[in-house]
């Protein structure tokens, strides 16, 4: 998958472009429907399947105080797109200048820079200043800009609309099963391994430590069964989300014990996919109690993963 981070004239570069438009935060089942439909159209005409999105959420510029927590990272989103078979990802910064473009100017930008054969969006996609452009306008005006447009229907699970807003609420409430069902995969936190206090190593459970960013969605504190992607390989593991209250004065973080793995991965990015909750966070009276609980968690994880 080719990644383009600066919007330049691409009309001569790609054959019969078909563009999926959206923020695609989390790339949930509804987003996947839009992207796959665009890819199906592209394949049917021997064209190029393109995703057009932003590297930052528009609300982070328009109204930072109201910007939603992001469900995934840029690199996680890129991996999902690549796995889906996207040919080209156009991922540009959303800027104050971009926010001032009218809906018509945005459509003209698509025409002049990409010259798409067809543009595909979801039912709630808005574009242009103040979000005045919507699916109805896109369907009405697309032909005036030289391309076709299609708006996918609302995707539902149990008769409820699948949306990033709903998934964020499920994650915050600790409903991992519900969030995973709407994502169509395990909720995943990707991040760079940072130096910790190496306390886990002394306990016999060395962990990879990830900082929890203030702008990212995260599950409530507790221990979880996880699948961890390290250097392209998958491992089972146990993740602890929390501030380690037994030892006090710890910043909230993600600590991951990767089963049957050893190696120095400081500074490397890993992907932690949450499969099931084991227990809530606890305070232990002694280090020996903590070690016994970690051993129980490990047995639970190994039985769960078979």
Of 70-74, 130-134, 219-223, 242-246, minimum mean pLDDT range: 242-246
Structure tokens at 194: 């940072």
**Which residue ranges form the domains of the chain, and what is each CATH number?**
10-160 (3.40.50.620), 187-305 (2.40.30.30)
Q: How far is CA 252 from CA 82, 199, 281, in A?
A: 31, 15, 12
**What pLDDT does 199 receive?**
60
Rounded Cα distance, 160 and 241, in Å: 29
Q: What is the mean pLDDT of residues 178-190?
A: 97
**What pLDDT does 1 receive?**
96
Q: Which of 149, 132, 153 is nearest to 141 (CA)?
A: 149
pLDDT band at 10; cut points 50, 70, 90:
confident
Contact yes or no for 31/37 (Cβ under 8 A):
no
**What pLDDT does 233 receive?**
96
pLDDT at residue 87 is higher than 90: yes
First to last CA, the chain: 34
Span 217-252, pLDDT tens digits: 999 999 999 999 999 999 999 999 998 766 665 678
**What pLDDT does 8 receive?**
78
Q: What is the mean pLDDT of residues 27-53?
A: 97
Contact yes or no for 233/277 (Cβ under 8 A):
no
Span 90-117, pLDDT tens digits: 999 999 999 999 999 999 999 999 999 9
């Amino acid at each position: 998958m080719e990644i383009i981070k600066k919007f330049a004239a691409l009309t001569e570069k790609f054959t019969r472009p078909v563009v999926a438009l959206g923020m695609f935060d989390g790339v949930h089942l509804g987003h996947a429907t839009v992207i796959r439909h665009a890819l199906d159209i592209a394949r049917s005409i021997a064209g190029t399947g393109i995703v057009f999105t932003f590297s930052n959420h528009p609300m982070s510029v328009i109204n930072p105080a109201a910007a939603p927590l992001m469900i995934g990272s840029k690199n996680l989103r890129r991996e999902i797109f690549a796995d889906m078979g996207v040919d080209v990802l156009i991922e540009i910064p959303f800027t104050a200048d971009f926010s001032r473009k009218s809906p018509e100017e945005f459509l003209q930008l698509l025409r002049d820079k990409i010259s798409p054969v067809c543009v595909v969006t979801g039912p709630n996609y808005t574009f242009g200043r103040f979000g005045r452009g919507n699916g109805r306008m896109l369907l009405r005006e697309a032909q005036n800009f030289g391309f076709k447009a299609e708006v996918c229907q609302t995707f539902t699970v149990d008769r409820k609309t699948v949306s990033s807003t709903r998934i964020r609420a499920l994650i915050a409430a600790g409903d991992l099963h519900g969030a995973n069902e709407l994502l169509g995969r395990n909720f995943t936190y990707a991040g760079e391994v940072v130096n910790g206090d190496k306390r886990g190593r002394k306990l016999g459970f060395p962990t990879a430590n990830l900082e929890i960013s203030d702008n990212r969605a995260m599950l409530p504190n507790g221990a979880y069964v996880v699948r961890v992607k390290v250097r392209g390989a998958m491992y089972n593991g146990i993740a602890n989300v929390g501030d380690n209250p037994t030892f006090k004065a710890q910043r909230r973080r993600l600590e991951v014990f990767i089963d049957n793995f050893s190696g120095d991965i400081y500074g490397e990015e890993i992907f932690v996919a949450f499969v099931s909750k084991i227990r809530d966070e606890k305070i232990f009276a002694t280090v020996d109690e903590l070690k016994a609980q970690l051993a129980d968690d490990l047995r639970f994880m190994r039985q769960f993963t078979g």
